[in-house]
Structure 1
Amino acid sequence: MDMISTDTPDFLQLNSLLQQCLTFAADNTYQQRPLSPTRLSAFATQMQQLFVFNERWQLMPEQTGLLQAEQVCHLYLDTQNALIDLMYSCPQPADAEHWFDYQQEFQARTQQINNLKTLFDWHQQLYQQLLQRFPQLQLPVANPTIDPKADSIVQQTAGASAAPESTGEGIAPGHCSLPALQL
Protein backbone atom coordinates (compact mmCIF):
# COMPACT_ATOMS: atom_id res chain seq x y z
CA MET A 1 0.00 0.00 0.00
CA ASP A 2 1.24 3.48 -0.79
CA MET A 3 1.49 5.69 2.23
CA ILE A 4 1.57 9.47 2.35
CA SER A 5 5.17 10.43 1.75
CA THR A 6 7.35 11.80 4.52
CA ASP A 7 7.61 15.23 2.91
CA THR A 8 3.96 15.94 3.73
CA PRO A 9 3.03 17.52 7.05
CA ASP A 10 2.63 15.19 10.01
CA PHE A 11 -0.30 15.05 12.43
CA LEU A 12 0.88 17.93 14.63
CA GLN A 13 1.82 20.13 11.69
CA LEU A 14 -1.56 19.54 10.07
CA ASN A 15 -3.36 20.45 13.29
CA SER A 16 -1.23 23.58 13.60
CA LEU A 17 -2.01 24.60 10.00
CA LEU A 18 -5.70 23.98 10.58
CA GLN A 19 -5.73 26.08 13.76
CA GLN A 20 -3.90 28.93 12.01
CA CYS A 21 -6.41 28.83 9.15
CA LEU A 22 -9.38 28.78 11.51
CA THR A 23 -7.97 31.64 13.59
CA PHE A 24 -7.44 33.78 10.51
CA ALA A 25 -10.90 32.91 9.18
CA ALA A 26 -12.54 33.79 12.50
CA ASP A 27 -10.53 36.93 13.30
CA ASN A 28 -9.74 38.66 10.01
CA THR A 29 -12.40 41.26 9.31
CA TYR A 30 -11.30 41.84 5.72
CA GLN A 31 -12.45 38.51 4.38
CA GLN A 32 -14.61 38.80 1.33
CA ARG A 33 -17.12 36.18 2.39
CA PRO A 34 -16.44 34.79 5.86
CA LEU A 35 -17.72 31.39 6.85
CA SER A 36 -20.11 31.15 9.78
CA PRO A 37 -18.71 30.03 13.15
CA THR A 38 -20.89 26.91 12.94
CA ARG A 39 -19.48 25.98 9.55
CA LEU A 40 -15.91 26.63 10.74
CA SER A 41 -16.48 24.43 13.78
CA ALA A 42 -17.94 21.60 11.68
CA PHE A 43 -15.06 21.89 9.23
CA ALA A 44 -12.50 21.76 12.05
CA THR A 45 -14.11 18.63 13.49
CA GLN A 46 -14.21 16.91 10.11
CA MET A 47 -10.61 17.78 9.27
CA GLN A 48 -9.44 16.52 12.66
CA GLN A 49 -11.26 13.25 11.97
CA LEU A 50 -9.33 13.02 8.70
CA PHE A 51 -6.05 13.74 10.49
CA VAL A 52 -6.72 10.98 13.03
CA PHE A 53 -7.74 8.55 10.30
CA ASN A 54 -4.59 9.35 8.31
CA GLU A 55 -2.35 8.92 11.34
CA ARG A 56 -3.91 5.56 12.20
CA TRP A 57 -3.68 4.51 8.58
CA GLN A 58 0.04 5.30 8.52
CA LEU A 59 0.73 3.56 11.82
CA MET A 60 -1.52 0.51 11.36
CA PRO A 61 -2.35 0.09 7.66
CA GLU A 62 -3.59 -3.46 8.16
CA GLN A 63 -6.25 -2.18 10.60
CA THR A 64 -7.82 0.13 8.01
CA GLY A 65 -10.91 -1.46 6.52
CA LEU A 66 -13.39 -0.66 3.81
CA LEU A 67 -16.00 0.56 6.33
CA GLN A 68 -13.64 3.21 7.70
CA ALA A 69 -12.63 4.23 4.18
CA GLU A 70 -16.30 4.66 3.22
CA GLN A 71 -16.92 6.83 6.28
CA VAL A 72 -13.93 8.99 5.40
CA CYS A 73 -15.16 9.35 1.81
CA HIS A 74 -18.43 10.80 3.11
CA LEU A 75 -16.42 13.72 4.49
CA TYR A 76 -14.86 14.50 1.12
CA LEU A 77 -17.41 16.98 -0.27
CA ASP A 78 -17.91 18.90 2.96
CA THR A 79 -14.21 19.30 3.66
CA GLN A 80 -13.30 20.08 0.06
CA ASN A 81 -16.06 22.68 -0.22
CA ALA A 82 -15.02 24.32 3.04
CA LEU A 83 -11.39 24.50 1.91
CA ILE A 84 -12.48 26.07 -1.38
CA ASP A 85 -14.75 28.52 0.44
CA LEU A 86 -11.90 29.52 2.75
CA MET A 87 -9.70 30.13 -0.30
CA TYR A 88 -12.37 32.29 -1.93
CA SER A 89 -12.97 34.28 1.23
CA CYS A 90 -9.29 34.99 1.88
CA PRO A 91 -8.46 38.55 0.81
CA GLN A 92 -5.63 38.95 -1.68
CA PRO A 93 -2.34 40.09 -0.10
CA ALA A 94 -1.82 42.83 -2.70
CA ASP A 95 -5.15 44.46 -1.74
CA ALA A 96 -3.55 45.73 1.48
CA GLU A 97 -0.78 47.55 -0.37
CA HIS A 98 -1.46 51.09 0.87
CA TRP A 99 -2.44 50.24 4.42
CA PHE A 100 -0.52 51.50 7.42
CA ASP A 101 0.03 47.90 8.58
CA TYR A 102 0.69 46.64 5.05
CA GLN A 103 3.55 44.28 5.86
CA GLN A 104 1.75 42.58 8.74
CA GLU A 105 -1.51 42.17 6.81
CA PHE A 106 0.33 41.09 3.65
CA GLN A 107 2.19 38.39 5.57
CA ALA A 108 -0.97 37.18 7.35
CA ARG A 109 -2.89 36.89 4.08
CA THR A 110 0.01 35.20 2.31
CA GLN A 111 0.40 32.72 5.17
CA GLN A 112 -3.34 31.95 5.12
CA ILE A 113 -3.25 31.24 1.38
CA ASN A 114 -0.15 29.05 1.74
CA ASN A 115 -1.66 27.16 4.70
CA LEU A 116 -4.89 26.54 2.81
CA LYS A 117 -2.97 25.32 -0.24
CA THR A 118 -1.00 22.91 1.94
CA LEU A 119 -4.19 21.58 3.55
CA PHE A 120 -5.90 21.31 0.17
CA ASP A 121 -2.95 19.42 -1.34
CA TRP A 122 -2.84 17.08 1.67
CA HIS A 123 -6.60 16.55 1.41
CA GLN A 124 -6.39 15.64 -2.28
CA GLN A 125 -3.42 13.35 -1.70
CA LEU A 126 -5.22 11.52 1.12
CA TYR A 127 -8.23 10.79 -1.06
CA GLN A 128 -6.13 9.78 -4.05
CA GLN A 129 -4.25 7.28 -1.92
CA LEU A 130 -7.46 6.09 -0.30
CA LEU A 131 -8.90 5.38 -3.75
CA GLN A 132 -5.72 3.56 -4.75
CA ARG A 133 -6.02 1.34 -1.69
CA PHE A 134 -9.79 0.85 -2.04
CA PRO A 135 -10.62 1.25 -5.76
CA GLN A 136 -14.24 0.20 -5.16
CA LEU A 137 -14.91 3.44 -3.25
CA GLN A 138 -16.89 6.14 -4.96
CA LEU A 139 -16.52 9.72 -3.87
CA PRO A 140 -19.75 11.70 -3.70
CA VAL A 141 -20.13 14.05 -6.65
CA ALA A 142 -21.92 17.40 -6.68
CA ASN A 143 -22.19 20.25 -9.13
CA PRO A 144 -20.63 23.46 -7.82
CA THR A 145 -22.86 26.51 -7.95
CA ILE A 146 -22.77 30.00 -6.55
CA ASP A 147 -25.71 30.95 -4.39
CA PRO A 148 -25.56 34.48 -2.92
CA LYS A 149 -27.84 33.49 -0.03
CA ALA A 150 -25.92 30.34 0.88
CA ASP A 151 -23.28 29.97 3.57
CA SER A 152 -21.01 28.37 0.98
CA ILE A 153 -19.77 29.45 -2.41
CA VAL A 154 -19.74 25.82 -3.48
CA GLN A 155 -23.08 24.17 -2.82
CA GLN A 156 -24.49 20.73 -3.34
CA THR A 157 -27.24 20.90 -5.90
CA ALA A 158 -28.89 17.61 -5.13
CA GLY A 159 -32.49 17.65 -4.10
CA ALA A 160 -35.55 15.49 -4.22
CA SER A 161 -36.07 16.15 -7.93
CA ALA A 162 -32.39 16.32 -8.91
CA ALA A 163 -31.20 13.86 -11.52
CA PRO A 164 -28.39 11.51 -10.54
CA GLU A 165 -24.90 12.45 -11.70
CA SER A 166 -23.35 10.87 -14.74
CA THR A 167 -21.72 8.29 -12.47
CA GLY A 168 -25.14 7.09 -11.42
CA GLU A 169 -24.65 8.36 -7.89
CA GLY A 170 -26.81 11.12 -6.46
CA ILE A 171 -26.40 12.97 -3.21
CA ALA A 172 -29.22 12.92 -0.73
CA PRO A 173 -30.50 16.19 0.68
CA GLY A 174 -29.13 16.93 4.13
CA HIS A 175 -25.86 15.18 3.32
CA CYS A 176 -24.23 17.13 6.17
CA SER A 177 -25.74 14.91 8.84
CA LEU A 178 -23.30 12.04 8.72
CA PRO A 179 -22.73 9.47 11.42
CA ALA A 180 -19.61 9.93 13.50
CA LEU A 181 -16.50 8.43 12.00
CA GLN A 182 -15.73 5.10 13.66
CA LEU A 183 -11.98 4.92 14.14
Structure 2
Amino acid sequence: MSLKQPHVAAARIVQDAGGELVGRTRLQKVAFLMQLAGFDKSFSFEYRHYGPYSEDLSQAMDIAVLLGPVDEVERVADWGGRYSIYSLTGEVPGVDYDADRSSFVQEAKKIDAVELELAATAAYLFEVEGIGKIYPGNPWEETARRKPTKVVGGRLAKAAQAYENLRKIKTVNPLPELPPLGQSI
Protein backbone atom coordinates (compact mmCIF):
# COMPACT_ATOMS: atom_id res chain seq x y z
CA MET A 1 0.00 0.00 0.00
CA SER A 2 1.28 3.45 -0.84
CA LEU A 3 0.24 6.43 1.23
CA LYS A 4 -0.53 9.68 -0.57
CA GLN A 5 1.36 11.75 2.01
CA PRO A 6 4.97 10.56 2.18
CA HIS A 7 5.56 12.16 5.58
CA VAL A 8 2.77 9.99 6.98
CA ALA A 9 4.45 6.89 5.51
CA ALA A 10 7.74 7.97 7.13
CA ALA A 11 6.05 8.53 10.50
CA ARG A 12 4.36 5.15 10.19
CA ILE A 13 7.77 3.46 10.14
CA VAL A 14 8.54 5.01 13.54
CA GLN A 15 5.09 3.97 14.76
CA ASP A 16 5.65 0.39 13.57
CA ALA A 17 9.04 0.41 15.31
CA GLY A 18 7.23 0.83 18.62
CA GLY A 19 7.43 4.62 18.71
CA GLU A 20 11.21 5.02 18.46
CA LEU A 21 13.82 4.37 15.79
CA VAL A 22 17.51 5.19 16.19
CA GLY A 23 19.58 6.26 13.20
CA ARG A 24 19.02 7.71 9.76
CA THR A 25 20.82 4.79 8.17
CA ARG A 26 18.64 2.34 10.10
CA LEU A 27 15.52 4.24 8.93
CA GLN A 28 16.65 3.95 5.31
CA LYS A 29 17.47 0.24 5.51
CA VAL A 30 14.29 -0.70 7.38
CA ALA A 31 12.22 1.22 4.83
CA PHE A 32 13.97 -0.49 1.92
CA LEU A 33 13.44 -3.94 3.41
CA MET A 34 9.79 -3.04 4.10
CA GLN A 35 9.44 -2.24 0.41
CA LEU A 36 10.99 -5.57 -0.61
CA ALA A 37 8.60 -7.30 1.80
CA GLY A 38 5.64 -5.60 0.10
CA PHE A 39 4.54 -3.47 3.04
CA ASP A 40 5.03 -0.12 1.35
CA LYS A 41 5.92 1.38 -2.03
CA SER A 42 6.00 5.04 -0.95
CA PHE A 43 9.68 5.65 -1.62
CA SER A 44 12.12 5.05 -4.47
CA PHE A 45 15.63 3.87 -3.62
CA GLU A 46 19.01 4.11 -5.30
CA TYR A 47 22.42 2.81 -4.34
CA ARG A 48 24.64 5.14 -2.32
CA HIS A 49 27.76 4.62 -0.21
CA TYR A 50 25.69 3.28 2.72
CA GLY A 51 23.55 1.02 0.52
CA PRO A 52 19.94 1.59 -0.54
CA TYR A 53 18.97 5.21 0.02
CA SER A 54 15.84 7.25 -0.67
CA GLU A 55 16.02 11.02 -0.86
CA ASP A 56 12.18 10.97 -0.84
CA LEU A 57 12.22 9.20 2.53
CA SER A 58 14.77 11.63 3.92
CA GLN A 59 12.64 14.61 2.89
CA ALA A 60 9.44 12.93 4.10
CA MET A 61 10.96 12.37 7.54
CA ASP A 62 12.08 16.02 7.67
CA ILE A 63 8.46 17.01 6.98
CA ALA A 64 7.15 14.53 9.57
CA VAL A 65 9.48 16.18 12.11
CA LEU A 66 8.44 19.68 11.05
CA LEU A 67 4.68 19.03 10.96
CA GLY A 68 4.54 16.21 13.48
CA PRO A 69 3.99 13.57 14.72
CA VAL A 70 7.73 12.74 14.83
CA ASP A 71 10.40 14.30 17.02
CA GLU A 72 14.08 14.10 16.06
CA VAL A 73 16.91 14.42 18.54
CA GLU A 74 20.45 14.49 17.17
CA ARG A 75 23.28 13.01 19.22
CA VAL A 76 27.02 12.64 18.76
CA ALA A 77 28.27 9.06 18.59
CA ASP A 78 31.39 7.85 20.40
CA TRP A 79 33.28 7.92 17.12
CA GLY A 80 32.33 11.58 16.50
CA GLY A 81 29.60 11.18 13.89
CA ARG A 82 26.04 12.31 14.39
CA TYR A 83 22.92 10.18 14.55
CA SER A 84 19.22 10.83 15.00
CA ILE A 85 16.69 9.39 17.37
CA TYR A 86 13.18 9.52 15.95
CA SER A 87 10.23 9.24 18.32
CA LEU A 88 6.49 9.70 18.01
CA THR A 89 4.94 12.74 19.63
CA GLY A 90 1.36 11.80 18.77
CA GLU A 91 -0.86 9.66 16.60
CA VAL A 92 -0.04 9.03 12.97
CA PRO A 93 -3.18 10.15 11.10
CA GLY A 94 -4.98 7.74 8.83
CA VAL A 95 -2.75 4.75 9.50
CA ASP A 96 -4.22 1.38 10.35
CA TYR A 97 -2.25 -0.96 12.57
CA ASP A 98 -0.82 -3.93 10.72
CA ALA A 99 0.57 -6.60 13.06
CA ASP A 100 2.73 -8.25 10.38
CA ARG A 101 4.22 -4.94 9.24
CA SER A 102 4.89 -3.88 12.83
CA SER A 103 6.46 -7.23 13.69
CA PHE A 104 8.73 -6.99 10.66
CA VAL A 105 9.85 -3.44 11.50
CA GLN A 106 10.43 -4.25 15.16
CA GLU A 107 12.61 -7.25 14.27
CA ALA A 108 14.55 -5.27 11.66
CA LYS A 109 15.25 -2.44 14.09
CA LYS A 110 16.84 -4.91 16.54
CA ILE A 111 19.56 -5.83 14.05
CA ASP A 112 22.94 -4.18 14.60
CA ALA A 113 23.08 -1.05 12.41
CA VAL A 114 26.09 -2.15 10.36
CA GLU A 115 24.74 -5.67 9.89
CA LEU A 116 21.38 -4.21 8.82
CA GLU A 117 23.21 -2.03 6.31
CA LEU A 118 25.08 -5.06 4.95
CA ALA A 119 21.90 -7.14 4.69
CA ALA A 120 19.94 -4.38 2.96
CA THR A 121 22.84 -3.76 0.60
CA ALA A 122 23.07 -7.43 -0.38
CA ALA A 123 19.30 -7.53 -0.93
CA TYR A 124 19.49 -4.37 -3.06
CA LEU A 125 22.38 -5.73 -5.13
CA PHE A 126 20.43 -8.94 -5.74
CA GLU A 127 16.94 -7.57 -6.34
CA VAL A 128 17.69 -4.22 -8.03
CA GLU A 129 21.12 -4.64 -9.61
CA GLY A 130 20.59 -8.33 -10.39
CA ILE A 131 23.88 -9.57 -8.92
CA GLY A 132 23.44 -13.30 -8.33
CA LYS A 133 19.95 -13.16 -9.83
CA ILE A 134 20.43 -12.11 -13.46
CA TYR A 135 24.14 -11.35 -13.57
CA PRO A 136 26.96 -13.60 -12.36
CA GLY A 137 28.22 -13.13 -8.84
CA ASN A 138 27.09 -13.23 -5.27
CA PRO A 139 25.43 -10.21 -3.63
CA TRP A 140 27.12 -10.95 -0.28
CA GLU A 141 30.56 -11.05 -1.86
CA GLU A 142 29.83 -7.86 -3.81
CA THR A 143 28.71 -6.24 -0.55
CA ALA A 144 32.01 -7.26 1.04
CA ARG A 145 33.92 -5.87 -1.95
CA ARG A 146 32.12 -2.51 -1.69
CA LYS A 147 32.28 -2.32 2.11
CA PRO A 148 35.51 -4.03 3.19
CA THR A 149 35.86 -2.18 6.49
CA LYS A 150 32.32 -3.08 7.57
CA VAL A 151 32.49 -6.83 7.09
CA VAL A 152 35.29 -7.44 9.62
CA GLY A 153 34.67 -9.53 12.70
CA GLY A 154 32.19 -11.89 11.06
CA ARG A 155 29.68 -9.14 10.39
CA LEU A 156 28.84 -10.35 6.90
CA ALA A 157 27.87 -13.80 8.20
CA LYS A 158 25.84 -12.15 10.99
CA ALA A 159 24.13 -9.93 8.41
CA ALA A 160 23.28 -12.97 6.29
CA GLN A 161 21.81 -14.73 9.33
CA ALA A 162 19.83 -11.62 10.34
CA TYR A 163 18.45 -11.39 6.79
CA GLU A 164 17.42 -15.06 6.88
CA ASN A 165 15.66 -14.42 10.20
CA LEU A 166 13.72 -11.55 8.60
CA ARG A 167 12.73 -13.88 5.75
CA LYS A 168 10.92 -16.07 8.31
CA ILE A 169 8.56 -13.26 9.32
CA LYS A 170 5.15 -13.16 7.64
CA THR A 171 5.20 -10.50 4.91
CA VAL A 172 3.07 -9.45 1.96
CA ASN A 173 5.82 -10.61 -0.42
CA PRO A 174 8.57 -12.97 0.74
CA LEU A 175 11.97 -11.30 0.95
CA PRO A 176 14.12 -12.54 -1.94
CA GLU A 177 16.13 -15.68 -1.25
CA LEU A 178 19.75 -14.61 -1.65
CA PRO A 179 22.45 -17.06 -2.68
CA PRO A 180 24.42 -18.27 0.37
CA LEU A 181 27.81 -16.77 1.09
CA GLY A 182 30.39 -18.28 -1.24
CA GLN A 183 27.86 -19.49 -3.83
CA SER A 184 27.58 -17.65 -7.14
CA ILE A 185 25.39 -18.15 -10.18
Q: Please give the TM-score of this superposition, normalised by the length of structure 1.
A: 0.25
Greater fraction of residues in helix: 1
